[in-house]
Structure 1
Amino acid sequence: MNTRIRYVSLGLLAVVSLYTGLWAYFSPTGWYANFPGLGLSWLPQLGPYNEHLVKDAGSMFLALACLTVIALRHVRNTRLVQTTGAVWLVFNVLHFSYHVQHLDMYGTRDQVLNAVSLAALMLLSAVLLVPTFPGRRGDTQ
């Protein structure tokens, strides 16, 4: 796999996890009321606010950010990048599966944005599982 693709995939996943994790952990009520931002609000429809649950979600996203940034710094380490991709893929498949079963609580625009954004995160995760070609200079196993 091209190193540039790894950089882009890991970089986007790092941005998403830092954005979500920092906001959820340090401003849990603001995150719950206003996520994903830009005038949209997707969380209140899912149930009542729970600070503990929101802070746990923020912590999990920050842990994912930590792993992703480490993989980004060692982007030529295939084993690390694939492990990071696998961790993200497990989360994103389960996250996507939940949300597509509960799209009925949103209007059409938010249904489409939910499905597309969560599918894109799954794709970014899956791309990281693609192995490098043997003998590529600088790639480690």
Structure 2
Amino acid sequence: MEQPTTAQLLQAWKQLPESIRYQPATQPQIDAFESQHGPIPPTYREFLLQFGGGAVGSEWLDGVDQLANTHAKFRRERSLHAWRLDDAFVIGWDGAGNPLAISREGAVVVEDHNFGGVHRLASSLMAYVARGLGHAL
């Protein structure tokens, strides 16, 4: 099966109820986050600017307004759970309280605090979004 384009994914995304989508970020919002927390990976930056964030399948990806709280929570919990996502950018939490992140290689990963380990969920952010939107394409 052919991978959908970003435009096709965005069209499917916009068909989702507004209650499960965050508004797309603005460049000033991105700049404000980065000035306090560091750079956002380019793929996630584009996702925030075009899609905004929200429900992807059964999980939620942060919008720009949620990212600061996520990064603060991750730092607070780092010693408690001994998170190993040092080289990854956290983009949300799954339903079990595990951090979702984009790895340095661009894959979407989750670190499971119950079973241990970092697990790859998708090869890229857009592949993760495509899988989550599969029913809407």
Same fold at TM > 0.5: no
- Where on the TM-score scale, by shorter chain, does this alignment land: which range? under 0.3
Could you say which structure has the higher helix fraction?
1
Q: TM-score, normalization: structure 2?
A: 0.27
Q: TM-score, normalization: structure 1?
A: 0.27
Could you say which structure has the higher strand fraction?
2
Larger RCO, structure (CA 8 Å, separation 6 or more) = 1
Q: Point out the structure with max Rg over C-alpha.
A: 1
